[in-house]
Chain A
């Protein structure tokens, strides 16, 4: 089993749609979880950290399910500008290492 797994997509959705991505992780001791966004030929940028109680930032909602060891990202009212690859990142406990998922490609269509 990979340490961090994501559905690579692509997810093609119309503008205004709601889309959700899941990410599973294998190390139950992991404590830090993030979603990054990466545009084509650019560096990854932190979209949001994921907290135990779940957290929201505008149209974006992140959830953590420790029992099932997955995190999710929900995007409401999708915009064309949301088209990107979304990377799930999980810490490797006791180290400075963070593990990346393979990324999920999202394309929002006009």
Chain B
């Protein structure tokens, strides 16, 4: 299994809703990432988990809350989002830091906040 699976693929939510994005990988990768990507921009790092511990938080607003229940799963909990948070949310995993294999990305969740 060489995939990163993200669900849902599309999500529309209101500003008062609470929702969660899910990400799963079974490659034994020990680092997992959340990225946000706006149109015509590169992916922007949000969070990094290494060995199930949060190692990087790129000053992300608290309305985004990551969770890593185990080495294969990564969640992103969303609450009280703003319309400007509409974007493609990408999950990625990698074997270890400074490696020659790069990331494997999931296909993303396209989020629209109304």
A-side interface mostly: loop
Partner of A96, one of B94, B104, B105, B110: B94
Judge whether B31 and A102 touch: CB under 8 Å.
no
Least CB separation from A43: chain B residue = B105
Judge whether A91 and B42 touch: CB under 8 Å.
no
- Whole-angstrom distance between the alpha carbons of A100 and B45 in the complex? 9
Partner of A49, one of B43, B88, B90, B101: B101
Q: How many A-B residue pairs have CB under 8 A?
A: 62
Distance of B38 from chain A, by nearest CB (Å):
12
- Whole-angstrom distance between the alpha carbons of A32 and B55 in the complex? 20
Known contacts A96-B48, A100-B42; decide if A49 and B104 are in contact (CB<8 Å): no
- Whole-angstrom distance between the alpha carbons of A96 and B99 in the complex? 9
Residues of A within 8 A of B43 (CB): 44, 100
Judge whether B102 and A96 touch: CB under 8 Å.
no
Q: Return the 5 tightest CB-CB contacts between A and B, nearest first.
A: A100-B42, A43-B105, A34-B102, A96-B97, A96-B31
Instruction: Tell me the A residues contacting B by CB distance below 8 Å.
Output: 31-32, 34, 36, 41-46, 49, 51, 87, 89, 91, 93-98, 100-103
